[in-house]
Amino acid sequence: MVAIAIARQTVREALRRRVFWIFLIVAVFLIGLGPVLGFLTPKESQTIMRSLGLAVILLAGLFITIVTCIYLIPVEIERRTIYTVLSKPVQRFEFVLGKFLGGFAIVFLSVAAMGAVFLALVYFQTTAVGPDAGVIRWIFSGKVPDDMIKGVILTFFQMMLLAALTIFFSTFATPVLNFFMSFFTFIVGNMSSVTESLTTSRQPITRFIGSVIHYMLPNFGNFNIQNAIIHPTSTISNENVFIRNNIVYAIIYSAVLLILAVIIFDRREV
């Protein structure tokens, strides 16, 4: 399949970029720093490590996703490699899809790598016995809390949605503009409790703008279930259904963004 070939090439090029590895290595280092910081305040060592770990995965995932995806299409146009691709029997939707799948794979790899280190640390923090009780017993005595796994999974889908958004912007915006647009949308999308309050404002203009922002922009805030400050009034009756709905939301929203990206790119001259 052509889109897969393009995706493979995209991953290959993205993995060559130093900035990707810098973000990933720094993130893994910071996650690894969690247990050390935990020792400084033994009573809350678990809380510190878990909060730090999830926050680092989110932030590093955010930067890796944006910095990787803003260049995927523009760099092909700028380096003119797109000429030799689109002059072949490659449909423009296949090109955009291939770029998204490549970006998606990079997001998956980075979140998976950070998540694996984080969950491993959480696992060994919960071991019931120490290594002195025998290595095998020690290794199999840990447990990863479900919340931590769910947190990593939701961050991954949040980043998938962000990747689709960034690729959508890249079909018409320059990389610099795209960086700010994606970052701004992510921040605003994370403030869903604030934007939701605007929809009930007494001022019609504020209500209108609030509604547009709240319902049109992707609701990134819903993916942060671990953060009670952002959702002070929310009570989740069934967490599994909530997570499933968020994943479906991310997939559908990403699909819509990709369709829009294809429509724009189909009309773009290269």
- Nearer CB in complex with other proteins: 132/269: 269
Contact 260, 172 (CB under 8 A): no
Q: How far apart are CA 140 and CA 215, in angstroms?
A: 46
**69-88 mask for other proteins (x: CB under 8 A)?**
----------xxx-xxxxxx
- Nearer CB in complex with other proteins: 149/177: 177
Q: Is 89 in the site for other proteins (CB under 8 A)?
A: yes
Token reading at 190: 């994370």
CB of 17 to other proteins, least distance (A): 10
What is each CA distance from 10 to 99, 196, 257, in whole angstroms? 6, 37, 19
What residues between 150 and 189 interact with other proteins by CB under 8 A?
none
Please select the residue that binds other proteins; options are 36, 212, 252, 270, rule is CB under 8 A. 270
Number of CB atoms found within 10 A of residue 55's CB? 15
Do you know the residue count of the chain? 270
- Nearer CB in complex with other proteins: 9/125: 9
Q: Is 12 in the site for other proteins (CB under 8 A)?
A: yes
Contact 56, 30 (CB under 8 A): yes
Interface positions with other proteins (CB under 8 A): 2, 5-6, 9, 12-13, 16, 79-81, 83-91, 267, 269-270
